Chain A
Amino acid sequence: MSNLDTFREDTKKWLDENCPPSMRSGADPDIPVDEVWGGRNAEYKNPESKLWLDRMGEKGWTMPTIPAEYGGGGLTKDQVKILNEEMFFIGAKAPLLSFGIWMLAPVLLEYGSEEQKKEHLPKIIKGEIRWCQGYSEPGSGSDLASLGTKAEDVGDSFIVNGQKVWTSYADKADWIFALVRTGAKEPKHDGISFLLIDMESKGVSTKPITLISGKSPFCETFFDNVEVPKGNLIGDLNAGWTIAKKLLQHERAFISNFGLAAGMGSNRDIVSIAKKHLGEENGKIKNSFYRSEISSHKIKEHAFGLTLKRAGDEGGKASATASMFKLYGTEHNKKRHELMVAASGVNGVAWDGDEFDDGDKNLTRAWLRTKGNSIEGGTSEVQLNVISKRVLGLPTQ
C-alpha cells in the first residue's frame, strides 16, 4: 500500500471515530446548529460543536498545510486533498470559521518572526483566539492608505489612538490585526505598520453598526491611549502596506469564493423561487421573460465557476485573478439576489411579521446585505482600476 493509501485509511478511521454524529450529514435536525468562530468567549448550543473543533484543532487539521511546529497539520497537498475528500464523503461540517485562518495566518507565516508564529498560529488553529480586522476608517475607505489611527513610539511600546470602522465581529473578537500610522502622512503608503492588538487592552471599545438589512456583524472600534507592546509589530516598522496588500489578496479570494459557494450551495435557489412564485409548466418556469433572464444569469454563473476551476488548474496566478474574482463574484451575487427578489414579487421585499414566511423575510435581508459585497474588501471600482493598471497595463494620467 502506498503512503497515500495508508493515509487515506488512517484518516477515514480517525474521522469515523472522532467526527461526532451531529457534525455529519444526516444529523438530527432537532439538534441546534452552531456557527463556530471559536475564541475566549465562544458559546455553544450543541456541545459536539466544541468537541469537533477541539479534536480537529488538536490534529492541526483546521489548517492542514501549516507545519506541525506551529500547530498545523503538516500535511502535503496530496494528503490535504484526501482529507477534504474523506470529510466530503461523510458530509463533515467545517469545524471552524475564522478570519485568523483566512487572512492573518498566511501573512504571519510570510512576515511574522519565529516567536510571533509560535505564539499566534497554534491559537488560531485551535480556535482559542478569535481575530478581527482593523483596516478601514471613517475617512479611509477605498483610499485605505490615507488612514490616520496613530501608534506613537514610547520606548517599549506603542500608544494607539484612533478609530476603525467596518470591523466584522469586533464585539466578539479577542484580538485585532490593525493598520496604524507610525510614520509621516506623506508619502501615505510609507508610514503604515501592521500591529496586533489584544481587544482586552485598556482603552479599546466597540459599538455595533446597524446596516440597511437590519442586524450586521460590523462594528466601530475605538482606541483611546491603548498601550501595545512592541513585540506585536509584524514585519518592519513603516513597512505595513506591503503586508496589508498581501492580506487583501487573501481576503478578495476568500470573498469571491465564499460568495459563489454560498450562492451555489444555498437552498435559496433562483429556479425554485421562480417556479414557486411565477408558476411552472412542463417543468419550465412559466414566465418566459424571467426564464430567459434566469438562464442568462445561470450561464454567467457556470462560466464563472469554470474560470475559478481553470485558475486552480493553472496553479493560480494570484494577484491579477483575485481582483477579477472579487469583482465578478460580488457583482454576480448582487444580480442573483436582485433576480430572486424580482421573481418573488411582493414577497421578495417582505420585512417582518407573520404574513410572510421566513424564507421570504430572510431573502429580503440577504438581498440588502449583498449591496455591501461590492464595497467591502475593495470596491468594484477599485478592482476595475487594479485590472486596468496591473493586468492590462493601461497608463496612469
Chain B
Amino acid sequence: MKLVLTEDEQFLKDTAKSFADERAPITHFRALRDSNDPILWDKEIWCEMVKLGWPGILIPEEYGGSNFGITGIGVILNECAKTLTPSPLFATGVLGAYAITNFGTDEQKQNFLPKIVSGDLTTALAIDESSHHNPKETEMIAKKEGESFIVNGKKTFVVDGASADLFIVLARTSGNKGDMTGLTLFLVDSNTKGVEKIKLEMADSRNYANINFDNVEICNSNILGDAEAGGETVEDILDVGRIAIASEMLGNAEAAFDATLDYLKQRKQFGVLIGSFQALQHRAAEMFCELELTKSSVMAAMKAAEEGSNELQRLSSLAKTMAGETLHLVSNEAIQMHGGIGVTDEYDIGFFLKRARVAEQIFGSSKYHTERYANLSGF
C-alpha cells in the first residue's frame, strides 16, 4: 500500500480543484444559504458534476459508472470541501453508490445504479435515532407481515435527507436496542406513503432532515443485503462513508488553514505583519503537523478501503478521529487568528467553524471513534 496518489487520482484532484474554484467558490455557498433554498444545493452544479462522471466513480462499468475507486471520490470531496461546494455527491456518489453496488441484488443494481450515474436519483443513509451516532442503539421496528415489512419510527440527522429520492434505512427486525444483531437494511422510496421528511436547520446550512416512518409498508424485495445481518452491512457502508467524510473534513481544515496563513501574511498591527509574531507562528506550525498526520491517515484509510484491507475498520476510525480533532483545532485557531473580523458573518472563515462542528458528528464523533479504535485494537 503506497501512500501516494496515482497519476489518474492526481488528475481527478486537479480537475475537482478547478471545478470548485471556478464553478462553486464560497460565494456560491453563501448565496444558497442566504436564499433560504429548500435543499441547499444547486441542480445546475449537480448536473455538471454528473457530466464529469463523479456520481459513477464507485459504480461498475456495466451500470454506466467508471469503477474508479474510493481514493478517486475521496480527492474530489476533499477539493470541493475547500470551497464548501454544496452537492449530493457524498450521500449519493459515496453512500448510495457503494451500498447498492456492494450489497444490492441484480435487480436493485439494475433499477438504481444507472439512475445514480445519470443524476436522476439521489440517495441518503438513515441510521441515527438520537443526538448521537450509535447504530446498535437502533429501535426503529420493521415488523414482518406476509411479503412485506411495516416500519414505524423516526430517523434523525440524515445527510441529504431533505432532498433524497431513495433512503437506505436501518431497522430492527428482531432483538433489542443495544444488539448489533437483528438489524436489517431497507431501500425506501421517499414518496412511499407514511414517509415524512422534516428539513433540519443546522448551524452549517447543509442539507439534513429527520425522517418519520408511520406504518410504512416495504416489500421484501427492497431488503438491501442479508436480512438480520444489516448490522455488519451497515458498518461496512459506514466505514467507507466515514473515510469519505474525513477526506471532506481534511479539505475544510486545509482551506481554513490556508486562509489563516494568508491573513497572517497580510494583516499588520503594531507596524508589522502579525505573522512575524512567534506566539502565532508556533501555533501555525503545530497545526501544520496535525494536518500532515491527518493527510496520511485519510490517505491510508482510502487505500485500505480500495484494497479491502483487514485494517479498514481501524483506519476508518483513525481517519475520522484525526480529521475531527484537526478540523476542530484548525477551525478554532482560524477564528482566533483572524481577530474581530473572524467572528463577523461577512467574512467566510466562520463557515468553516460551523461546518466543522456539524461534520464532527456525522457517523460518529472523535470520542466515538477513539473508543472504537481501542475496542478494535484489543485494549
Contact = CB atoms under 8 A, between A and B. Distances in A.
Nearest to A388: B281
A324 interface: yes
Interface string A287-298: 000011011101
Contact of A294 (B261, B294, B378, B379): B379
User: By CB atoms of chain A within 10 A, which of B280, B322, B367, B379 has the most?
Assistant: B379
Q: Could you say which interface size class chain B belongs to?
A: 35 or more
Q: For this complex, into which size category does the number of interface residues on chain A fall?
A: 35 or more
Contacts of A383: 285
B145 interface: no
A199 interface: no
Contact of A313 (B4, B264, B374, B377): B4
Interface in B295-327: 295-297, 299-300, 318, 321-322
Nearest to B319: A303
B379 A284 contact: yes
B318 A384 contact: no
Contact of B297 (A306, A324, A385): A306
B296 A283 contact: no
Contacts of B275: 394-395
Contacts of B296: 303, 306-307, 309-310
Nearest to A297: B370
A388 B283 CA distance: 9
B276 interface: yes
B202 interface: no
A30 B320 CA distance: 47
Interface in B318-357: 318, 321-322
Given A283-B378, A397-B276, A306 B3 contact: yes
B318 A313 contact: no
A387 B283 CA distance: 11
A314 interface: yes
Contacts of A388: 278, 281-282, 284-285
Interface string B253-289: 0000000010011000000110111101110111011
A300 to B, nearest CB: 7
Given A324-B292, A392-B285, A303 B297 contact: yes
Contact of B288 (A274, A298, A302, A391): A391
A314 B370 CA distance: 28
A324 B289 contact: yes
Interface in B2-17: 2-4
Contact of A298 (B261, B272, B297, B373): B373
A285 interface: yes
B3 A310 contact: yes
Instruction: Give the 6 A-B residue pairs with the shortest CB-CB distance, closest first.
Output: A388-B281, A387-B285, A295-B374, A310-B3, A306-B296, A303-B293
Nearest to B270: A397
Contacts of A166: none
B286 A395 contact: no
B226 interface: no
Interface of A: 271, 274-275, 283-285, 291-292, 294-296, 298-300, 302-304, 306-307, 309-310, 313-314, 324, 327-328, 381, 383-385, 387-389, 391-397
Given A284-B375, A295-B377, A393-B265, 13 more contacts: A283-B379, A299-B321, A299-B370, A300-B293, A310-B3, A327-B285, A383-B285, A384-B286, A388-B281, A388-B284, A389-B281, A392-B285, A394-B261
Contacts of A381: 282
A291 B285 contact: no
A319 to B, nearest CB: 14
B265 A294 contact: no
B48 interface: no
11 contacts: A296-B321, A299-B373, A302-B297, A302-B318, A303-B294, A310-B296, A327-B289, A328-B289, A381-B282, A394-B284, A395-B273
Q: Which of B265, B295, B297, B299 has the most CB of A within 10 A?
A: B297
B371 interface: yes
Contacts of A394: 261, 264-265, 275-276, 280-281, 284
Nearest to B287: A392
Contacts of B297: 302-303, 306
A294 B378 CA distance: 12
Contacts of B2: 313
A275 B318 CA distance: 22
B379 A285 contact: yes
A310 B379 contact: no
Interface string B194-214: 000000000000000000000
B3 A309 contact: yes
B379 A299 contact: no
Contacts of B276: 394-397
A292 B365 CA distance: 14
Nearest to A387: B285
Nearest to A291: B374
Contacts of A304: 293
Contacts of B294: 303
